[in-house]
A and B are shown apart, each in its own frame.
Chain A
Amino acid sequence: MSAILLGCGLLSIGVTVAIIVILAWESWGFFQEVSPLEFAFGTRWSPILEPRSFGVLPLVCGTFLVAAGALVVAVPIGLGAALYLSEYAPSSLRAVAKPVLEILAGVPTVVFGYFALTFITPYVLRPLVPQTEVFNALSGALVVGIMIVPTICSLCDDAFRSVPRSLREASFALAATRMETSLRVVLPAAFSGVVASVLLGLGRAVGETMAVTLAAGMTPKLTLNPLVSIQTMTSYIVQVCFGDTPAGSTVYQTIFGVGMMLFLITLLINVIAQRVMRRFREAYD
């Protein structure tokens, strides 16, 4: 019996190995045709239309434009809500707010894409800034930000709640107000937990696919203007796969090159997040 169960556990390692091997193998074929230097530092991405060019920077730039915007939305909201839930809220309000956040986390990303396209862009962004394009990075960033609020909020809430009560009591005893205690005692004490939650949120934002494909468009562009249509790494993969691309062609191979890039970036973010989180757990457990 224990052998079968061990097999289940080992399967997860098998999956990781398979991901790495497949991405490396398929992008090897791609890098036979396109030089890795052109891929990594080229500033124009046009794998289908002539003249073809395979510089991945516009996709990376689009991805981080959306992800950074998402963090600008999600970090204040997630932190504020987590502070409120752990430091202020009565337990009856917690009992309502936490499930609501969890249901929000369970809404499929394609639904958020629809929401960005048919509500946020036409009814929120365009009345404010009329020159906003139909597809724009900002609406993508806003919905992705909302999507990662539950991740950041619940991890920060856990971090704040594991700060020992005695620290707060000491602070109150020195006549600090609740705000001073929250911001100058609880927040610094839980800081590595907060950093880990933000990193995990960033990892999700970078890998987010359907919402950004619908909201932010499919025009690879090296720009920091959030009001125009861009393309992220994930939405490029979806765009190619949604069409009929013959296996083995260069265009088909590009999705593995881009997939490799995406995998490495999210892996790096997640590994750092795990490390920070472990340090935080060691501090208080």
Chain B
Amino acid sequence: MNPDASHFGSSIAARRFWSGCFTLVCGLTTLVGGIILLALVIQVVREGWPALSLKLFTKFPSVLDPENAGVKSALFGTLWLVTLTAAFSIPLGLGAAIYLEEYAAKTRLTRWIELNIANLAGVPSVVYGLLGLTVFVRTLGFGRSILAGALTLSLVVLPVMIIASREAIAAVPASLRSAAFALGATRWQTIRAQVLPVALPGILTGAILGLSRAIGEAAPLIVIGALAFVAHVPSGPMDQFTALPIQIFNWCEDPGQEFHRLAAAAIVVLLGVLIPLNAVAIGVRAWYQSSKKVL
């Protein structure tokens, strides 16, 4: 390299000064995320406080009467959706993860599946909505039902579930498997009795993070035709439904100030579920990762 004068131009003091400034700037950008999260929470609680009452949970949505509108049907809709989505996506995601980590040879097909999952994780959720609309709602004839919604959401979160489960399974020490094989266990016995129990906390964390994404999704449900106003609690998986994020979207769309207040109150309910859920999942994973070092 050809050293030119500029390399020696600035004094050490100036370089130290700029380096210090840079540290400060980087440190400040790290705070931005936390500050925004705080501002967001303060804003929704401040706006939503007047509308937060028991009425919110016992009344059905309404366009005409914001004083007597609530999220009862949306709450039950979300509960139905998340239960069914869990039932579909957890076994499928875990199955694919076990296959890729424990069974698959390094063939072209395996690489194809892996690449494909990475790409699916980047497909916008509205596009999954279009898939659900054509396949579940129309071709299979499920209509705008909870079942169609849950199947669509399962496809949305499946890549996340697979990736998280794979990480958890890959983190299980190979010595455990070797020991099981040495004792004459079959591959499946090894997986069931040794690998899965050790990987369980990681798998659960991934499942919770995936499901909390499903709880917050609105776009694919709107695309498959979920309604905004449903004045009854769904009675089964083939019933029509609405969900909390759809309700929030709809109230935000309304220009009326009192509807924005309702939206804020519904967001408080939604975040009141999601933030603790995520925090627990992240905490469990952190604890598990630090305890694994001892293992």
How does the 8 Å CB contact mask read for A129-172 relative to B, with 1 for contact and 0 for none?
00000000000000000100110010000000000000000000
Q: Is the CB of A180 within 8 A of B15?
A: yes
- How many contacts A-B (CB < 8 Å)? 269
Nearest 5 Cβ contacts at the A-B interface: A207-B124, A108-B216, A8-B95, A80-B29, A5-B99
- A97: which B residues are within 8 A, CB to CB? 30, 33-34
Option from A108, A270, A273 in Cβ contact (under 8 Å) with B245:
A108
Total chain A interface residues with beta-carbon distance under 8 A: 89
* Contact in complex: B222, A84 (CB < 8 Å): no
How many Å lie between the Cα of A146 and that of B36 in the bound state? 8
Q: B36, A104: Cβ atoms under 8 Å?
A: yes
B15 touches A177 (CB 8 A): yes
Cβ B127 vs Cβ A106 within 8 A: no
| A:63-93 near B, CB below 8 Å | 76-77, 79-81, 83-85, 87-89
A15–B155 CB distance below 8 A: yes
Asked whether B222 lies within 8 Å of A241 as measured between CB atoms, the reply is: yes
Chain A residues, CB < 8 A from B122: 200, 203-204, 207, 266-267, 269-270, 273
With a cutoff of 8 Å between Cβ atoms, the chain B residues found around residue A213 in the complex are 249
Indicate if B32 sits at the interface (CB-CB under 8 A). Answer: yes
Whether A262 contacts B245 by the Cβ 8 Å rule is no
Q: How far is the CB of B205 from chain A (nearest CB, A)?
A: 11
- Alpha-carbon gap, A80 to B250, bound state (A): 36
A77 CB to nearest chain B CB (Å): 5
What is the CB-to-nearest-CB distance from B249 to chain A, in angstroms, rounded to a whole number?
A: 5
| Cβ-closest chain A residue relative to B91 | A8
**B-binding residues in A (CB < 8 A):** 1-2, 4-13, 15-16, 18-19, 22-23, 26, 76-77, 79-81, 83-85, 87-89, 95, 97, 99-104, 106-115, 117-119, 146, 149-150, 153, 177-180, 182-183, 200, 203-204, 206-210, 213-214, 234, 237-238, 241-242, 247, 255-256, 259, 262-263, 266-267, 269-271, 273-274
Instruction: Describe A's contact surface by its main secondary structure.
Output: helix
Contact status A207-B217, CB under 8 Å: no
Among B25, B44, B282, the residue within 8 A (CB) of A80 is B25
Q: Which residue of B lies closest to A214 (CB)?
A: B252
Q: Which residues of B contact A (CB under 8 A)?
A: 15-16, 18-19, 22-23, 25-30, 32-34, 36-37, 39-40, 43-44, 47, 91-96, 98-100, 103-104, 112-113, 115-120, 122-131, 133-135, 138, 155, 158-159, 162, 187-188, 209, 212-213, 215-219, 222-225, 228, 245, 248-249, 252-253, 260, 263-264, 267, 270-271, 274-275, 278-279, 282-283, 286
Given that A88-B27, A118-B43, A177-B19 are known contacts, is A12 also in contact with B216, CB under 8 Å in the complex?
no
Which of A83, A112, A210, A214 has the most chain B CB atoms closer than 10 A to its own CB?
A210
Contact check, B19 vs A9: say whether CB atoms are below 8 A apart.
no
Report B-chain residues with C-beta under 8 Å of the C-beta of A238. 126, 219, 222-223
A16-B116, A107-B216 known; A182 vs B264 contact (CB < 8 Å): no
A100-B33, A114-B263 known; A12-B98 Cβ under 8 A: no
Q: Tell me which of B30, B134, B267 contacts A111 (CB under 8 A).
A: B267
Residues of A within 8 A of B33 (CB): 77, 81, 97, 100-101, 104, 146, 149-150, 153
Distance in angstroms between the alpha carbons of A241 and B128 in the assembled complex: 13
| A107 contact from B37, B112, B125, Cβ within 8 A | B37
Is B223 within 8 A of A237, CB to CB? yes
**Is B99 within 8 A of A179, CB to CB?**
no
Cα distance, A146 to B33, chains bound together (Å): 7
The answer to whether B264 and A5 have CB atoms under 8 Å apart is: no
Specify the chain A residue showing the minimal Cβ separation from B26: A84
Q: Does B96 contact A8, Cβ atoms closer than 8 Å? A: yes
Residues A110 and B218 in contact, CB atoms below 8 Å apart: yes
A contact residues around B158 at 8 Å (CB): 11-12, 15
Tell me whether A15 and B131 are in contact in the complex, defined as CB-CB below 8 angstroms, given that A84-B29, A210-B249, A238-B219 are known contacts.
Answer: yes
Q: Which residues of A contact B125 (CB under 8 A)?
A: 207, 209
Chain A residues lying within 8 Å of B30, measured Cβ to Cβ, are: 80-81, 84-85, 89, 97
Inter-chain contact A118/B260, CB cutoff 8 Å: yes
Q: How far is the CA of A204 from the CA of B104 in the complex (A)?
A: 30
Q: In whole angstroms, what is the CA distance A146 to B162 when docked?
A: 26
Distance of A33 Cα from B183 Cα, bound (Å):
67
Question: What are 8 A-B contacts defined by CB distance under 8 Å?
Answer: A9-B95, A81-B29, A106-B275, A119-B40, A146-B33, A180-B15, A209-B218, A259-B126
Say how far A223's CB is from chain B's closest CB, in angstroms: 23
